[in-house]
A and B are shown apart, each in its own frame.
Chain A
Amino acid sequence: MTHLLEVRQLRIEIGERCLVHTLDLVLNQGERLAILGCNGAGKSTLLLTLAGLRPAASGRVLLDGVDCHQLAPRAAALRRAWLGQYLSDPFGSGVLETVLTGRHPHLGRWDWESGRDSEIARGALAAVGLRNMETRQVHTLSGGERQRLNIATLLAQAAGLYLLDEPLAHLDLNHQMAVLELFSGAARDCGAGVIMVLHDPGLAHRFCDRALLIHNDGQTEIGTVDSILTAKNLSQLYGYPLHQVEDGGHRCFMPA
């Protein structure tokens, strides 16, 4: 059987620096993986490489069993959706219009967005709590609203694999939980695969099945959240002593 994502002997370099030595990874339907590491450790670069948006130094990334660099851009866009960290709109654009860009890979060259596409886009907006903002201009939204708009665009793309670079950026607490629950639901109910870069190990423990730690020297560790997200591992990862607190099955990590 083919896996949503399969990574074989992946090595990632930027210039002279090696960010990831060798990484082997398999992600199946319905699985959620958290990526943790310090600033500059290579989390975003790894995510870009997994999306096939950046060439690897060596090794292969397979999406549904096909090498991501052999897929046409549109075919890749139907398999995986990528949420980036930075987005600027030099030209204004409406909220619904922006979400509809997510439908691009589903449309032929001369197709115009159909009523069904608009329905999907409205559904995606409702899922992130932006139901009444369809006609707003993007530049009038707050940072958190924009982040939710980007997530709605991703949902409209309706790919089987979500690659999320800091999906919680700019979000307040209730929306952080809502977004994490949204993607957990997509994994549980629709069999989506989710890989997300997170900065809170507690949330990673609560909302992911496995975690991948990227150390600054290019070494990686991967395992179930229970086994790998421990005070000892994380203190070493971040280079700062952390205490582990348990509360009703949830783990929380506090700076010592």
Chain B
Amino acid sequence: MPSRRRAALIIVLFCLLAVASVLMALMVGTFSVSAPAVFAALFGGESEGADIVLQLRLPRALAGFACGGLLALAGALMQVLLRNPLADPYVLGISGGAGVGALFAILLGLPAVGIDGLAFVGALGAMLLVFGLAHGDGSWTQTRLLLTGVIVAAGCGALVALMLAIAPDDRLRGMLFWLMGDLAQAGNWWPGFLALIVALGVAMPFARELNLLARGIMQAQALGVAVNRLRYVIYLLASLATAAAVTTAGSIGFIGLVVPHLVRLATGNDQRLLLPASALAGGSLLVFADTLARTVAAPQQLPVGVLTALIGVPVFLYLLSRQPK
């Protein structure tokens, strides 16, 4: 367990990582901008490329950071809530519900705001459905919640496949990009960012109680945690964070599963450190991946969801293999 001072130091390091990732996103691209020019643009000075930095790259980087942060935070919360290291933000069907909503909107030819709106409605629908079914008789064990979520996600997957099958060709590409997760579709950056700050603000007061919940429901209750209230709060919070993220950028995979594990390997499992560090690391990783997605095959842009997996898998396997047995 890190001391408070050590925890603060680690958080500062993760903040530096976050700043570096955003700075890189602002500098790199088809038209590269030097660091001094980026700073000049940010702080209101005249510089070449200021428009590109402020109007294209900054909103996209901030939206990406918020999404990555939300997904990693939601993943960390889900892993504790379900006491299952394999849990991720999508395991309870929330991205499936959002996918159904978003693809339906694309199928109808709705504009971007309609796609976002229906995606959010779909995510909330899936959340309420899973909660209602799993909570039916008031027992809501972790296994029951998990199984219900997996089944609802499977159902959503079937609907998504159905819509892909009947969609006209000109809409298919948009649908696939949404499903893989893509920041080019991100509209405003501030709703996601606001959601991230609120979510962290709500989660942090419960962080030490989550440490106990990870050891077992009864153990936590016996040690003075109001377990039922805590589980409601965490379920709602993780679900809403996921909904906010997928509404912004589609279902970007891998961040929510892998970032909490990466951070855990580096810092241990104290939620007081794990939650903010995961949010920062998730945001940084997504911004970094998106910068690559924009530049690797330029002028072609890849969906960032592909890149997160391509980066995440080897890093994770490497860290896992050097863990002492």
Contact assessment for B221 and A53 in the assembled complex, using a CB-CB cutoff below 8 Å? yes
Contact assessment for B222 and A81 in the assembled complex, using a CB-CB cutoff below 8 Å? yes
Q: Which of A13-21, A88-96, A236-244 contacts B (4 or more CB under 8 A)?
A: A88-96
Q: A73 on the interface (CB 8 Å rule)?
A: yes
In the complex, chain A residues whose CB is within 8 Å of the CB of B214 = 89-91, 93
Q: State in angstroms the CA–CA spacing of A53 and B218 once bound together.
A: 7
Q: State in angstroms the CA–CA spacing of A78 and B222 once bound together.
A: 10
Contact assessment for A84 and B208 in the assembled complex, using a CB-CB cutoff below 8 Å? no
Determine which residue in A72, A107, A110 has the highest number of CB atoms from chain B within 10 A of its CB, and name it. Answer: A110
| A51 and B85 contact, Cβ closer than 8 Å, known pairs A90-B214, A97-B1 | no
Q: B4 on the interface (CB 8 Å rule)?
A: yes
Contact assessment for A53 and B222 in the assembled complex, using a CB-CB cutoff below 8 Å? yes
Q: B133 on the interface (CB 8 Å rule)?
A: no
State how many angstroms separate the Cβ of A164 from the closest Cβ of chain B.
12
- Classify chain A: how many residues form its interface, as a range: 35 or more
Q: A64 on the interface (CB 8 Å rule)?
A: no
1/0 contact string of A55-97 vs chain B (CB within 8 Å): 0000000000000000011111110011010111111111011
Which single member of A48, A76, A96, A101 contacts B212 (CB below 8 Å)? A101
Near A by CB (< 8 A), chain B positions 205-235 give 205, 208-209, 211-212, 214-216, 218-219, 221-227
- Classify chain B: how many residues form its interface, as a range: 20 to 34
In the complex, chain A residues whose CB is within 8 Å of the CB of B216 = 84, 86-88
Near A by CB (< 8 A), chain B positions 276-300 give none
Q: A145 on the interface (CB 8 Å rule)?
A: no
Q: Which of B14-22, B194-202, B264-272 contacts A (4 or more CB under 8 A)?
A: B264-272
Q: State in angstroms the CA–CA spacing of A196 and B189 once bound together.
A: 58
Q: State in angstroms the CA–CA spacing of A110 and B219 once bound together.
A: 21
| A90 and B84 contact, Cβ closer than 8 Å, known pairs A84-B216, A109-B205 | yes
In the complex, chain A residues whose CB is within 8 Å of the CB of B205 = 109-110
Q: A30 on the interface (CB 8 Å rule)?
A: no
Q: State in angstroms the CA–CA spacing of A137 and B226 once bound together.
A: 27
In the complex, chain B residues whose CB is within 8 Å of the CB of A109 = 205, 208
Q: State in angstroms the CA–CA spacing of A10 and B206 once bound together.
A: 34
Contact assessment for B222 and A96 in the assembled complex, using a CB-CB cutoff below 8 Å? no
Q: A105 on the interface (CB 8 Å rule)?
A: yes
Contact assessment for B223 and A101 in the assembled complex, using a CB-CB cutoff below 8 Å? yes
Q: A214 on the interface (CB 8 Å rule)?
A: no
Which single member of B85, B221, B223 contacts A90 (CB below 8 Å)? B85
State how many angstroms separate the Cβ of A119 from the closest Cβ of chain B.
14
Near A by CB (< 8 A), chain B positions 68-120 give 79, 83-85
Contact assessment for B269 and A87 in the assembled complex, using a CB-CB cutoff below 8 Å? no
| A104 and B270 contact, Cβ closer than 8 Å, known pairs A84-B219, A90-B214 | no
Contact assessment for A87 and B221 in the assembled complex, using a CB-CB cutoff below 8 Å? no
Quick one: closest A residue to B206, CB to CB?
A109
Q: B321 on the interface (CB 8 Å rule)?
A: no
Q: State in angstroms the CA–CA spacing of A92 and B215 once bound together.
A: 10
Q: State in angstroms the CA–CA spacing of A74 and B218 once bound together.
A: 13
State how many angstroms separate the Cβ of A239 from the closest Cβ of chain B.
30
Chain B interfacial positions (CB closer than 8 Å to A) = 1, 3-4, 79, 83-85, 205, 208-209, 211-212, 214-216, 218-219, 221-227, 264, 268-270, 272
Assuming A76-B224, A87-B216, what are 7 further A-B pairs, CB within 8 angstroms? A53-B222, A73-B225, A84-B218, A84-B222, A91-B264, A109-B208, A112-B4
